[in-house]
């Protein structure tokens, strides 16, 4: 699966809309599963995508669930003041069609043609499969409405005209414990490979530094640096699969020390065993690269 990189300033956090298969998005059956579209969407949004990690306000004890997905301040620094949108039915998205909401999620383009800025991980979300995108939209239509109007984001650098060419149609690999499906989970769904890849002038350096780590996240916790996910000794070579699973879903290192945000550990804990196993299987295939200097 190839993902088009975004032209962003260095070190920033971060169809032809065909939907022909899904432009009756709510009517698209989810292939090969008994679950409904909304059930699949609930799993993705509240699980491996971790949407609430940015779209739900945080209190001292974690996400404020009474305001789930109602928008929040994400980044405030010298380059941008970014607020996530209210994506409940009380937000602006309530007036968008399913196709318009799907395009905003996958391509970052609002119905009025304006661009949604970072840190939404569009380099990864452009790879979301049509049926999963339809499921996400179907679920968002069902969540409790929360009356909230986050301020508009401010970007003190120019946004690109677009994040790539229009997305036509995307099909995910068959679900299973395979490298291909693990790649889909690690990139398009959980967007691990964006946060764990160094940024250059054109965005995440997917082609040359995939998974090398080094991105710095500043927050109330202090500063955390995305670790190396490659098979290099600086990365995951010394960890067992069980240790990796513990770090991903519990945020605890093998020595018992806690890991820092912004990894959405509580959301990743909801991943199915097969999805988590596939993701780890994919990480074991990343070419070895030393830590980013």
Count: domains in the chain: 2
Q: Say whether both 34 and 91 belong to one domain.
A: yes
Distances (CA, A) of 77 to 71, 110, 217: 18, 24, 11
End position of a domain, from candidates 155, 171, 205: 155
DSSP 157-224: SPPPS-SSSPP----PPPSSSSHHHHHHIIIIIT-HHHHTS-EETTEE-HHHHTT----EEEETTEEE
pLDDT for 62 equals 82
Integer Cα distance of 250 and 144 in angstroms: 27
At residue 78 the predicted structure's pLDDT band, cuts being 50, 70 and 90, is confident
pLDDT for 4 equals 37
Q: Say whether both 59 and 149 belong to one domain.
A: yes
At residue 267 the predicted structure's pLDDT band, cuts being 50, 70 and 90, is very high
Q: Say whether both 122 and 240 belong to one domain.
A: no
| DSSP code, position 259 | P
pLDDT for 202 equals 66
SS3 240: coil
Determine, yes or no, domain membership for 214: yes
pLDDT for 236 equals 97
pLDDT for 61 equals 81
Average pLDDT over residues 47-72: 94
CB atoms within 10 A of CB 138: 23
Q: Say whether both 146 and 34 belong to one domain.
A: yes
Determine, yes or no, domain membership for 135: yes
End position of a domain, from candidates 155, 181, 207: 155
Q: What residues form DSSP beta bridges with 75? A: 82
Determine, yes or no, domain membership for 15: no
Distances (CA, A) of 285 to 31, 150, 183, 194: 28, 41, 10, 17
Integer Cα distance of 262 and 218 in angstroms: 9
Q: Say whether both 141 and 216 belong to one domain.
A: no
SS3 229: coil
Q: Say whether both 127 and 240 belong to one domain.
A: no
Q: Say whether both 202 and 151 belong to one domain.
A: no
CB atoms within 10 A of CB 69: 29
- The larger pLDDT score, comparing residue 214 to residue 6, is at 214
Determine, yes or no, domain membership for 126: yes
Integer Cα distance of 27 and 241 in angstroms: 38
Percent of the chain with pLDDT over 70: 87
pLDDT of 26 higher than 60: no
Pairing state of beta strands 73-76 and 58-59? unpaired
What are the tokens at 202?
A: 């054109």
At residue 14 the predicted structure's pLDDT band, cuts being 50, 70 and 90, is very low
Q: Say whether both 135 and 201 belong to one domain.
A: no
| Chain segment 178-230, per-residue pLDDT in tens | 999 999 999 999 999 999 998 876 678 888 999 999 988 887 888 999 999 99
| Chain segment 94-112, per-residue pLDDT in tens | 999 999 999 999 999 999 9
Q: Say whether both 193 and 151 belong to one domain.
A: no
Name the nearest CA neighbour of 1 among 134, 171, 122, 165.
171
pLDDT of 88 higher than 60: yes
Determine, yes or no, domain membership for 20: no
Determine, yes or no, domain membership for 226: yes
pLDDT of 29 higher than 90: no
Determine, yes or no, domain membership for 174: no
Determine, yes or no, domain membership for 5: no
| DSSP code, position 147 | -
Q: Say whether both 142 and 59 belong to one domain.
A: yes
pLDDT for 63 equals 87
Q: Say whether both 65 and 144 belong to one domain.
A: yes
| Chain segment 119-175, per-residue pLDDT in tens | 999 989 999 999 999 999 999 999 999 999 999 999 999 999 999 999 999 999 999
The domain of 145 spans 25-155
Q: Say whether both 145 and 36 belong to one domain.
A: yes
pLDDT for 24 equals 36
């Amino acid at each position: 699966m190839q993902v088009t990189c975004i032209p962003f300033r260095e070190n920033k956090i971060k169809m032809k809309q065909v939907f022909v298969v899904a432009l009756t998005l709510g009517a698209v059956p989810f292939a090969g599963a008994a679950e409904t579209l909304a059930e699949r969407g609930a799993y993705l949004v509240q699980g491996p995508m971790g949407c609430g990690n940015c779209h739900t306000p945080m209190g001292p004890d974690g996400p404020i669930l009474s305001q789930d997905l109602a928008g929040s301040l994400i980044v405030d620094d010298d380059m941008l003041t970014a607020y996530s949108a209210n994506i409940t039915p009380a937000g602006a998205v309530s007036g968008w069609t399913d196709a318009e909401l799907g395009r905003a999620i996958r391509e970052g383009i609002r119905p009025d043609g304006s661009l949604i800025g970072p840190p939404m991980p569009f380099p990864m979300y452009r790879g979301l499969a049509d049926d999963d995108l339809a499921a996400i939209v179907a679920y968002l239509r069902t969540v409790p409405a929360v009356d909230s109007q986050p301020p508009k984001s401010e970007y003190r650098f120019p946004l690109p005209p677009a994040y790539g060419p229009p997305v036509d149609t995307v099909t995910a690999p068959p679900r299973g414990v395979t490298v291909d499906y693990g790649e889909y989970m690690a990139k398009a769904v959980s967007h691990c490979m964006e946060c764990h890849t160094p940024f250059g002038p054109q965005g995440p350096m997917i082609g040359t530094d995939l998974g090398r780590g080094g991105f710095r996240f500043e927050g109330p916790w202090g500063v955390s640096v995305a670790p190396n996910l490659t098979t290099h000794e600086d990365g995951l070579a010394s960890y067992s699969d069980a240790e990796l699973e513990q770090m991903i879903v519990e945020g605890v290192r093998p020595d018992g020390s806690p890991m820092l945000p912004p990894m959405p550990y509580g959301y990743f804990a909801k991943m199915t065993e097969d999805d988590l196993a596939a993701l780890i299987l994919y990480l074991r295939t990343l070419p070895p690269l030393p830590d980013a200097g």
